[in-house]
A and B are shown apart, each in its own frame.
Chain A
Amino acid sequence: MPYALCFLLFMIGLYCAVVKKNLVKIVIGLAIMEYAVNLFLIMLGYRTGGTAPILDKTYIEAGTNKIVANFINTSVDPLPQALVLTAIVISLGSLALIISISIRIYGKYGTFDITEIRRLKG
């Protein structure tokens, strides 16, 4: 059920990127698609009734430096979270590039409407 809602969010972003005519709305649609994909990857590592994978004083046995065996059995998977962090950084860089390109397009053509940006102006 949560995966179906994630897919719905992706479809909303795809609708915005395909149907809309304003350039800023297309960029917002791309960002919504990236949110949906990151959310799906994090939800794959979920465990029912799990806790956050952060070590605390309560998870270390007193005296020694060993981790309680209960920690691995009840925490969610931290590996998708680390990989999604890298994906978020990459999407930030590409978003900065696409926004500066759209500002340049507005400077050259005077409008954000993609039906009027037709010829390549140098």
Chain B
Amino acid sequence: MEQEQQNSNTMQTGKISNGTKGMTVIVKTVSSWVKVLIFLFGINIVLFGHLTPGGGFAGGVILASSYVLLMLAFGREFVEENLPLPLASKLDCLGAFMFALVAILGIVLGGSFFLNFLYQKYLPGQPLHLVSAGIIPLANIAIGLKVGASLFLITLMLSISCKGRECRFE
């Protein structure tokens, strides 16, 4: 009886809906449209961090929350195939390394740590435009990448370890 209802749902919507994991068909359909908009909104907040409120940390939280939405609607295995654990760890380390690189390039190209090496002589920009404010957009991108990957990894590990009353930590 339940299997027939699941088969009829699959024929009507034309999507493959795994009937046992995740949520109902309505939630899965709507969240698969909305997840791209949330990701794009997070990129907007990271990239325009020197003009509008937000910046690296807030944008990173929004980027991670689009993956958490997928985890709630489709189940954990679907998301783990899409962004596996080693790749998320490498993105995390890449964000931290990019931030350190931006800071050390200040020593190499000038005299001090975190020197603004993209000032008006090399990269002229007008105020209130996207290309302005020196090295701040590069630092924002690095922090957004790191915070997004870290919060995604935290939520993934919290959902792996416990099912009901059995917690397995290997």
Q: Which of A's residues lie within 8 Å of B, judged by CB?
A: 54-57, 60, 65, 85, 89, 96, 99-100, 103-104, 106-108, 110
Binding site for A on B (CB under 8 A): 52-53, 57, 126-128, 154, 157-158, 161-162, 165-167, 169
Judging by beta carbons under 8 Å apart, are B154 and A106 in contact? no
- Known A54-B53, A56-B128, A103-B158; further 14 A-B contacts with Cβ < 8 A: A55-B127, A55-B128, A57-B128, A89-B57, A96-B154, A100-B157, A103-B161, A103-B162, A104-B167, A107-B161, A107-B162, A107-B165, A107-B166, A107-B167
Residues of chain B within 8 A (CB-CB) of A110 are: 165
Nearest-CB distance from A85 to chain B (Å)? 7
Determine chain A's interface SS by DSSP, over half rule: helix
Number of interchain pairs (Cβ within 8 Å): 32
For residue A92, give the distance in angstroms from its CB to the closest CB of chain B. Answer: 8
Shortest C-beta distance, B147 to chain A (Å), equals 8
Q: Which residues from B are CB-within-8-Å of A55?
A: 127-128
Which chain A positions have C-beta within 8 A of B166? 107
Closest to A85 in B: B57
Contacts of A57 in B (CB 8 A): 128
CB distance from B132 to the nearest CB of A (A): 11
Q: Are the C-beta atoms of B158 and A100 separated by less than 8 Å?
A: yes
* Smallest CB separation, A33 vs chain B (Å): 21
Q: CA separation between A96 and B150, bound complex, in Å?
A: 11
- Residues of A contacting B161 with CB < 8 Å? 103, 107
